[in-house]
């Protein structure tokens, strides 16, 4: 049994939205089998702008590797634990125009669906929808074949695609078994590109990392490694039929081989832990080791790679075996107080209150007060709406981040223009005059700037609150127990240096 086959094979639980199928919109969704992108070019630029605004709202810090360059198309793949944030960051961190493959209701919905269709997103009807009786098998095949052909032709034309190969969103700390969609599209696209004399596309494994993916104003890091080359497995006749618009399935053996290679490259880019408790223990050990070496982990990218080294060392030998129980207990104590390994300073002690603590409080209050009125007017409605929808959603934990991300994304194209227009009219300025247009644009800019200033203030205030929380925790009996565990870990780590 290979690694991919031994990974969790869990059928997704269908949400209420996934149970609602709009046949007419699915049939009318734009597609193209000539190699051209089926979306609107102007909307692709607008989408990147929207994603940038959404990113600035939900992330306190954002890092990204430079994506390896290639001439042909590119399929970006990653694990899928953070809803619509996952594909959005994969779009943002590369220059290629992207086509995506998504759940059917994300293409037919009233707001997100409208934008998805304008950007050429392709619907997919999953096995779970068929088995639940949401759609018929023949209709699902018709839509899926059309979408797969569009993706393959786009890739052959040099565009990019974002596909979440697990076929669902989940909350586990390791990669689930991969579906066949990405591998089948890749193999078909390579055949079409060869037939048209164009450069072959590649598969780009991507690591998506978060300080804690469902936290508001968390840290994010997008990781890229060397791409996977795609083999030619179609004969000339089948390649011709593919190019002419007939979907031809690639050999099952070739699909499984490529799927296995994708799994082996992608799995190390995930936490790769049996559970989140174990991963938090690895992360704590990584911080203790880095602090001992006087190289504290100050960024998420450093933390990700340091924790991965600990994971790999543990998997390769048992020298950390005795540390794991203590590290797990200590990390779980922190987690129970909504804290993590970043609470420990370079002296291997819990961080304590100092002058910078009160400076953060002052700066935070000042910035939030300074920008509060325009920030509340410009972003209050969508923030409340995002919270209401997140708390009432049945989409899972990742929906919380998704809704706040969407609130930020749609602010510059829906909320800010509407509110700005209302304010211009209230001020009695003729909107169609030069003064009215300039005022309208200025108000939108003020909304954006004020939201950034308010969030910066919120970040400083959050730092202050975190240090206060750590200080209170350190004075509790369980805080003392945590300190004892850290001392034991330090003692056991010393001979392993």
Query: What tens digit of pLDDT does each residue of 338-374 get?
Result: 999 999 988 888 999 989 999 999 999 999 999 999 9
**Where are any strands of DSSP class E within 28-93?**
59-64, 74-77
Average pLDDT over residues 421-438: 93
Query: What tens digit of pLDDT does each residue of 436-464 get?
Result: 999 999 999 999 999 999 999 999 999 99
Where in the chain are the domains?
3-269, 276-348, 355-474
Query: What tens digit of pLDDT does each residue of 372-411 get?
Result: 999 999 999 999 998 888 777 666 666 778 889 999 999 9
Rounded to whole angstroms, the Cα distance separating 262 from 253 reads 14
Query: What tens digit of pLDDT does each residue of 273-308 get?
Result: 999 999 999 999 999 999 888 889 999 999 999 999
The CB density around residue 66, as the number of other CB atoms within 10 Å, is: 8
pLDDT at 396: 64
Find which of 72-86, 121-135, 311-325 is predicted with most confidence, using mean pLDDT: 72-86
Average pLDDT over residues 262-282: 96
Under 8 Å CB-to-CB from 24, ≥6 apart: which residues? none
CB pairs under 8 A, 24+ apart, for 198-201? 198/72, 198/156, 198/157, 198/158, 199/70, 199/71, 199/72, 199/158, 200/72, 200/229, 200/230, 200/232, 201/70, 201/72, 201/73, 201/74, 201/75, 201/155, 201/156, 201/230
Rounded to whole angstroms, the Cα distance separating 288 from 494 reads 10
Residue 101's DSSP bridge partners are 122
- The domain 3-269: what is its CATH number? 3.40.1130
């Amino acid at each position: 049994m290979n690694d991919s086959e031994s990974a969790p094979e869990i059928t997704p639980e269908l949400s209420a939205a996934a149970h609602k199928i709009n046949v007419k919109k699915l049939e009318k969704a734009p597609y193209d089998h000539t190699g051209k992108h089926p979306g609107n070019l102007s909307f692709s630029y607008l989408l990147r702008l929207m994603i940038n605004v959404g990113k600035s709202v939900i992330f306190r810090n954002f890092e990204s590797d430079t994506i390896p360059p290639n001439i042909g198309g590119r399929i970006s793949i990653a694990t899928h634990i953070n809803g619509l944030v996952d594909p959005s960051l994969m779009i943002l961190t590369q220059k290629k125009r992207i086509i995506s493959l998504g759940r059917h209701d994300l293409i037919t919905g009233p707001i997100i669906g409208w934008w998805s269709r304008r950007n050429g997103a392709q619907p997919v009807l999953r096995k779970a929808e068929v088995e639940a009786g949401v759609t018929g098998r023949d209709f699902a095949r018709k839509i899926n074949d059309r979408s797969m052909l569009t993706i393959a032709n786009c890739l052959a034309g040099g565009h990019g695609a974002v596909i979440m190969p697990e076929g669902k969103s989940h909350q586990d700390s390791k990669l689930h078994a991969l579906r066949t969609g990405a591998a089948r599209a890749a193999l078909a696209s390579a055949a079409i590109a060869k037939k048209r004399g164009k450069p072959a596309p590649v598969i780009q494994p991507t690591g998506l990392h978060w300080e804690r993916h469902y936290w508001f104003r968390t840290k994010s890091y997008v990781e890229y490694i060397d791409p996977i080359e795609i083999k030619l497995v179609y004969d000339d006749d089948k390649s011709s039929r593919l190019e002419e618009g007939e979907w031809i399935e690639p050999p099952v053996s070739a699909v499984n081989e490529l799927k296995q290679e994708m799994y082996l490259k992608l799995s190390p880019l995930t936490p790769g832990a049996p559970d989140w408790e174990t991963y938090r223990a690895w992360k704590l050990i990584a911080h203790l080791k880095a602090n001992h070496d006087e190289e504290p982990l100050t960024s998420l990218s450093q933390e990700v790679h340091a924790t991965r080294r600990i994971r790999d060392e543990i998997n390769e030998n048992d020298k950390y075996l005795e540390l794991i129980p203590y590290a797990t207990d200590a990390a779980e104590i922190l987690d129970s107080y909504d804290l993590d390994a970043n609470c420990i300073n370079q002296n291997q002690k819990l961080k304590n209150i100092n002058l910078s603590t009160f400076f953060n409080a002052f700066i935070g209050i000042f910035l939030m007060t300074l920008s509060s009125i325009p920030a509340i007017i410009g972003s209050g409605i969508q923030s409340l709406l995002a919270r209401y929808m997140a708390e009432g959603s049945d989409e899972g934990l990742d929906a919380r981040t998704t809704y706040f991300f969407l609130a930020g994304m749609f602010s510059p194209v829906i909320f800010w223009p509407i509110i700005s227009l209302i304010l211009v009219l209230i001020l009695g300025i003729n909107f169609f005059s030069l003064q009215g247009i300039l005022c309208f644009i200025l108000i939108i800019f003020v909304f954006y700037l004020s939201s950034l200033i308010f969030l910066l203030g919120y970040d400083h205030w959050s730092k202050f609150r975190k240090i206060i929380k750590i200080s209170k925790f350190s004075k509790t009996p369980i805080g003392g127990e945590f300190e004892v565990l850290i001392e034991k870990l330090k003692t056991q780590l010393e001979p392993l240096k």
